Structures are given as C-alpha cells and as structure tokens.
Amino acid sequence: MTSNFVDYVKIFFRSGNGGNGSTHLRREKFVPKGGPDGGDGGRGGHIILKGNKQYWTLIHLKYRKHIHADDGEAGSGSLCHGANGRDIVVDVPVGTVVRDHESGNLLCEIIDEGEKKILLSGGRGGLGNANFKSATNQTPRYSQPGEAGSEGWYVLELKLLADVGLVGFPNAGKSTLLSVVSAAKPKIADYAFTTLEPNLGIVNCREGLSFIMADIPGIIEGAHEGKGLGLRFLRHIERNSLLLFLVPADSNDIVAEYRTLVNELEKYNPELLDKQRILAISKCDMLDEELSAEIQQDLFAQIPQIPSIMFSSITGNGIRQLKDLLWTTLNS
C-alpha cells in the first residue's frame, strides 16, 4: 500500500522567458515617416511558493516533475507592451524547505500560512526601439531581446511543525501515547518500526488549552548515518519546540538508552540539544511502587538537569501530569 505521507519531492522548475522588444516604425496614411513606436516585451512568469496550512504533505506534488511558468509576450507597434507571463503559484505545506538539487544549498523556507516567496524570477522583457530614440539617432532599427528565465532541479522537503516531538527507540510506546492523549489513530503493533511515517495529534489540556504533538518514527543507534529509517525522519525533529524522550520501563538501562538517543540527535544536528527536553518513562504499569521510586531516584541522581516523569498509556496513570508538565514547559 502506498503511503499518502510524502515529505520529499524533486521537481524541475522553469520560470518564463521575457518577451522581445519590438522594432517598429510608425506608418500611417498621413504619417509616412513616423518615429519608432516599438513596445517593450512582457516579463516572464515567476515560480512562487506559497504556504498553505490545508496541506500537511507534499503528495500533491509527487507526480508533477516539471513545472513551467509562461513566457512574456513580445512587444508590438503603437507602443504596445507585451503581456507578462502568468506566474505559477505552488502551494506547499507550512514547514517546507527548498534546496538546490546540485549543491544542496538551502534556498528558502516557508514558515507561515499565506507566506509567498519567489523561487525563480521570470526573465525581464526586452525594450522596444522607442526606448533608444535620441537626438542623434531618431530612427533606431533595433530593439532588445527578452532575458531568459531560470531553470533547474530543486528538492522540496517537509519538516513538520509541532510543539512536542516524541523521540524514542522503536516500541517505546510513542504511538500508543499519541493515541491516548489525542484523537490521532497511528498504527500500533508489537514489533519494531510499526510507525513508518510521522503522525500529528492535537493534545487538549485543562481549560481548553492545547498543543500539537508529533510521533516521529523510531530512531535506532546509528540513525544519523542512515541506519534504520535513518535520516528520512530526523529532520522532522528540527522544527519541534520541545523534545519528549520516551524510554520504556522495561529497558535494561533507562539512562543509557536516553543518552544514546541524545547522542544520535547531537551527531545529526548539535543545535537540537538547545531545545527543551523532558524524559518520560512509559509502560509503568509493569512496575510496583518500590521499583518506580528506585527508578525516579536513579534518574534524579544521574541526570538531574532533565525533568522526568513516569506514566502508563494503558492505565492512564501519570497522563494528566505529563500533559500539564508539557504545557508548563512549553509556556515557561
């Protein structure tokens, strides 16, 4: 089954060529030798990207491999200017990044709803011969050609915009948590890499307050080198305001697993460590009170700078406290 979630497309864009200027001399019944009256050519069409919050994936562009703007029309006599080429406005999800395919350089980002950015400018229209008339050259018989547009292959990448990003190894309970705290219905099963695409959910807190949570497909050790799902989804973490690290209570070493996750993010992009972090221990219905207290003491002793909380998506214990902690941290 083909997924509807597409966060990477490569497209050939071409802006329009400018129209040629006109070389025309005025000739009428009673004006046999009128002056130059060639009009200017029209501008070529731009390629414009526009943020549209109604889109959350790039699937509508998946099969549009070539997008061309219209050329400007040529000028004509009687100082008639050619029409500008029609601009092509490409709607993209908010959070889309555009890179040059050859160099990989970042060209622009679309962050806000309705934001427009010109990716490729159309070529300028050429000047008609009327522009070149002077005291010493009253009948110029030349005009200017239109400028060529720009073209090339470009990569569009989507980086999900969410307040909270779930970070954890496969089967840490990320999808289950998202299904419990929001109306999202991610696929849940007892095997690794159940989640093959990010899922978004709106988490409602007290008094009608809410925030957006993103379930990022599981990371494994070596993900920054492309192992597992690798680099495919790590970029979605870059746009999250807060990172919620999930480690299951049955982990052999909770602190070591947390540090492995942090290490993967640091190797991918060290700036990710500047984000706020919370450590949540999932599947705590498997623990008794004594073992839970022992784990909490161990976490405070080894990583006191990171807030931690224990919860169970099955019984609901700690879910309310987790949502309150996330909201407080986001707004601190």
Each residue of 140-173: pLDDT tens digit?
A: 999 999 999 999 999 998 877 778 888 888 877 8
DSSP letters spanning 106-170 = EEEEE-STT-EEEEEPPPPPPPPGGGG--SS-SS-----PPPP--EEEEEEEE----SEEEE--T
Q: Give the bridge partners for 204, in sequence order.
A: 210
Q: How confident is the model at residue 232 (pLDDT cuts 50, 70, 90)?
A: low
Q: Say what the alpha-carbon torsion angle 214, 191, 314, 184 is, to the nearest 10 degrees.
A: 30
The CATH class that applies to domain 1-158 reads mainly beta
In the chain, domain spans:
1-158, 164-330
> How much is the pTM?
0.69
Q: Are 198 and 56 in contact (CB under 8 A)?
A: no
Write the pLDDT tens digit of every residue in 49-77. 999 988 878 889 988 999 999 999 999 98
Per-residue model confidence (pLDDT) at position 4: 60
DSSP conformation class of 47: E
Q: CATH second-level architecture of 164-330?
A: 3-Layer(aba) Sandwich (3.40)
Those residues with Cβ within 8 angstroms of residue 73's Cβ, 6 or more apart along the chain or in another chain: 19, 41, 42, 82, 83, 85
Q: Which two tokens mark 54?
A: 């109604």
